[in-house]
């Protein structure tokens, strides 16, 4: 079977084009993220792979769950329902998480934004986060949105991931580089 990202790419592109024509990038983003969470659930995955579950039943179940999901202020739009039906019909419901991720990447590119993940040994203050975001914005030329997580295993410092760039300024990373140099 083809790689999941290869299967997801045309769907993500089609949804992105639809969202752009509707001028609703944010709405489709929320829809895809919620649908991807439902599709990634182990119970739903077992149903999508079960040949005894008919496609119309699976569509109805998925749409019912989507409408009952926390934060689902309204039911899925007609275009969203058609998208789910298409995925079920083509047996691609299992690639919804990849579709959502690819859509988010296209959206970020269109909006000239980047989500930067900052993993630090200790929580960062608001001022530290502003400084990091400003430095990354200057370096990447994009609007930066920071997500800070804490990993005590780093000992000190931080690791920043923004797009394809990784900046490892952690004490652990520096110790590993030193060990590699000394081992030569």
- Could you tell me the pTM of the whole model? 0.70
Provide the pLDDT for residue 13.
95
Judged by DSSP in three states, 115 sits in strand
Class of domain 4-108: mainly alpha
Provide the pLDDT for residue 15.
96
Domain residue ranges of the chain, discontinuous segments joined by +: 4-108, 113-183
Q: What angle do CA 75, 76, 82 make, to 5 degrees?
A: 145
Residues of the chain with pLDDT under 70: 1-2, 69-74
182 phi, psi to nearest 5 deg: -70, -30
User: HSE of 159 in the Cβ direction (CA atoms, 13 Å)?
Assistant: 17
Provide the pLDDT for residue 72.
52
R_g over Cα of the chain? 20
CA–CA gap between residue 90 and residue 177 (Å, rounded): 48
């Amino acid at each position: 079977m083809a790689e999941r990202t290869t299967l997801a790419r045309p769907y993500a592109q089609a949804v992105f084009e639809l969202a752009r024509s509707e001028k609703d990038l944010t709405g489709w983003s929320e829809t895809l993220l919620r649908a991807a969470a439902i599709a990634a659930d182990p119970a739903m995955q077992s149903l999508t792979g079960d040949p005894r579950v008919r496609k119309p039943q699976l569509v109805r179940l998925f749409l019912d769950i989507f409408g009952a999901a926390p934060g689902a202020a309204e039911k899925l739009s007609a275009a969203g329902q058609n998208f789910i039906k298409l995925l079920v019909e083509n047996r691609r419901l299992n690639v919804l998480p990849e579709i959502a991720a690819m859509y988010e990447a296209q959206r970020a590119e269109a909006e000239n934004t980047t989500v930067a993940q900052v993993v630090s040994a200790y929580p960062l203050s608001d001022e530290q986060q502003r400084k990091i975001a400003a430095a990354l914005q200057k370096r990447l030329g994009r609007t930066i949105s920071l997500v800070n997580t804490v990993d005590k295993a780093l000992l000190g410092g931080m690791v920043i991931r923004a797009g394809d760039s990784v900046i490892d300024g952690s004490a652990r990373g520096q110790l590993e580089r030193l060990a590699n140099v000394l081992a030569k």
